[in-house]
Structure 1
Amino acid sequence: MTGAIEAAVADVTSWLAGAAGEPVPVGPPRDDPAGGLTVWPLDLRPARQTATGGAAREPYRFVVRLLVSGGGPAALPALDRVLAAATTGTGRPELVLDAGDPALWRALGVAPRPALLLDVPARIDRPAPTAPPVRQPLRLRQLDMRTLDGRVVGPQDQPLAAMRVELVGTAQATETDAAGRFRLVGVPHDLDAPDRPVRIRLVGRGRVHTAELDPAGDDLVVVHAPD
């Protein structure tokens, strides 16, 4: 399988052959007065990633920077044609005229010469995650919705007003009125487990108290809050 860098280099060499009018081999710059152009991958640079809100992962994007240079005066006409094609043609790679650093040529072990850089976008596709296979028959749980009416009382069965009543595990909440009464609408009721208790949380008077209520109990449940 061809990798992202190899594919980017192949695209550039194909474009260079048409722009220069002759094949351009992949290789480092060489000191050959009679030689033609060469193209060499010089650097990998990050590219802006595309954000996504879905489950699929976007491809990883980057830029391959390639050095195009000639081996002597004989290579100048071909380099000229590449420069013209890169600035006026269509479907061209991005041109960068920034290859004059003497340290670059020292590192490559050749004399400085006219050259240009081409930036080519590349990407690595990332496979979408696969869901594990379902090995058991699908089982559906039937949930009914009910309304829970209750009353919160304290010591000596005194009604507690302005107590926050929260349905644990959901965002549903309400407050008790002056008589300590409250109503929660849309309380899930598991028909497969009718005896499963309903958990509520009481918040108020500087305390937090959790209680379990019998879903099959009286129409009005009474919750005793501790002192």
Structure 2
Amino acid sequence: MTGAIEAAVADVAAWLTGAAGDPVPVGPPRDDPAGGLTVWPLELRPARQTAAGGEAREPYRFVVRLLVSGAGPAALPALDRVLAAAATAGEPELALAAGDPELWRAFGVAPRPALLLDVPAQIARPLPPVPPVRHPLRLRQLGMRTLDGRVVGPERQPLAAMRVEVVGTPYATRTDGAGRFRLVGLPHDPDDPGRPVRVRLLGRGRTFTADLDPADPDLVIVCAPD
């Protein structure tokens, strides 16, 4: 199985070969009379991690910094093509900061023009084990119902443009000029037909809640100040 670093380096080497027009092997900088380019992973850099909610685990993200260099004047045209291709496409991300003499002394070669490419990589994290299902699954089909009602004030005057929401669901509507509302497609449990439906009403700068009996043919919600 190919690891994240190895895969990132192989992808960049393939891209470099296409951009430069010549094969770009993976290896440290060298004094090659032929003047070809090489690519070598220089360091691993941290990347911003994202938080996941619930049981999900986001991959661990990091950046592989790669050194692209060549020996002698013959390598400059290939390096020029790579620079132009990356700058035009906007990726991989370029970092022109490979002029440290200590870097070249560490590799045992003379200083030379080079590019740094930052390539994102990630390691997938396994999901937590799911407990086995030890009992047969029981499927229960929920029905659908429509909820009709009216929203009125303390003097029984209709309240228009009130927002009516079913708490804990995406179902919502607004009252019309007569204070009437209709909520269509609400899930209905046939095993518990009398369970009240809690609604939230917003309007007139106030918020009200009410528990409605879905079996009531004439639902009236009175919004009175405290």
TM-score, with structure 1 as normaliser = 0.57
- Residues 151-166 of structure 1 aligned to structure 2 (within 5 Å): none
The offset of 1:13, in angstroms, is 0.8
Q: What amino acid maps onto 1:102 in structure 2?
A: P
Per-residue deviation, residues 114-151 of structure 1 (Å, max 9, x unmatched): 0010000000011110123355799xxxxxxxxxxxxx
- Residues 1-227 of structure 1 aligned to structure 2 (within 5 Å): 1-89=1-89, 92-134=91-133
TM-score, with structure 2 as normaliser = 0.58
Which range moved further: 48-57 or 75-84? 48-57
Per-residue deviation, residues 134-186 of structure 1 (Å, max 9, x unmatched): 55799xxxxxxxxxxxxxxxxxxxxxxxxxxxxxxxxxxxxxxxxxxxxxxxx
Q: d(CA) in 2 for partners of 1:105 and 1:85?
A: 25
Contact 1:61 1:122 in 2 (8 A): yes
Q: d(CA) in 2 for partners of 1:33 and 1:97?
A: 24
Provide the alpha-carbon RMSD of the alignment: 1.6
The offset of 1:32, in angstroms, is 1.9
Equivalent pairs, count: 137
Contact 1:35 1:71 in 2 (8 A): yes
Per-residue deviation, residues 2-30 of structure 1 (Å, max 9, x unmatched): 11001101110111011101110000000
The offset of 1:102, in angstroms, is 0.5
Identity of aligned residues (%): 84
Q: d(CA) in 2 for partners of 1:131 and 1:101?
A: 51
The offset of 1:53, in angstroms, is 1.6
Q: d(CA) in 2 for partners of 1:118 and 1:15?
A: 12
Contact 1:96 1:119 in 2 (8 A): yes
Q: What amino acid maps onto 2:82 in structure 1?
A: V
**Structure 2: gaps (5+ residues):** 138-226
Q: What amino acid maps onto 1:116 in structure 2?
A: L
Q: Secondary structure at the match of 2:18?
A: helix
Q: d(CA) in 1 for partners of 2:34 and 2:22?
A: 14
**Structure 1: gaps (5+ residues):** 139-227
